[in-house]
């Protein structure tokens, strides 16, 4: 029997910290130019936006799978449900389901 699928984030905070420490050493050694840093800044900002979009999708999907706001609240760093509730309210102005949100993300990627 195969193991059930367990989704994981494609990158973790530990991955980012490790990369940052390695890159900081290269910067201090003079191996990285300002232009290189500007380019990576752009990549990081795009990746940050993609992670936020993925987080929104996971929030919608978790609710669809029956998760309560109380269950979700701790990942928002709060002990109360206002943060995820407010985010859901904002998301629902654009999409009512994780499938709709994914379609919006696909259209953005395609430049539609």
**Predicted confidence (pLDDT) per residue in 34-61, tens digit:** 999 999 999 999 999 999 999 999 999 9
**Predicted confidence (pLDDT) per residue in 10-22, tens digit:** 999 999 999 999 9
Domain coordinates of the chain in residue numbers? 34-111
Total-model pTM: 0.86
For residue 80, is pLDDT > 90?
no
For residue 111, is pLDDT > 90?
no
CA dist 80 and 74 (Å) reads 8
- What average pLDDT does the structure give for the chain? 94
Residues listed for the chain: 112
Closest CA to 103 of 70, 42, 60: 60
């Amino acid at each position: 029997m195969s193991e059930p699928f367990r989704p994981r984030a494609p990158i973790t905070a530990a991955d980012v910290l490790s990369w940052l420490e390695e890159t900081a050493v290269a910067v201090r050694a003079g191996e990285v130019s300002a232009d290189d840093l500007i380019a990576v800044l752009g990549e990081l900002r795009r990746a940050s936006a993609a992670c936020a979009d993925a987080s929104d999708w996971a929030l919608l999907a978790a609710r669809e799978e029956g998760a309560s706001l109380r269950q979700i609240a701790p990942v928002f760093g709060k002990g109360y449900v206002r943060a995820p509730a407010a985010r859901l309210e904002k998301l629902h102005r654009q999409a009512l389901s994780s499938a709709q949100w994914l379609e919006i993300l696909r259209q953005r990627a395609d430049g539609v």
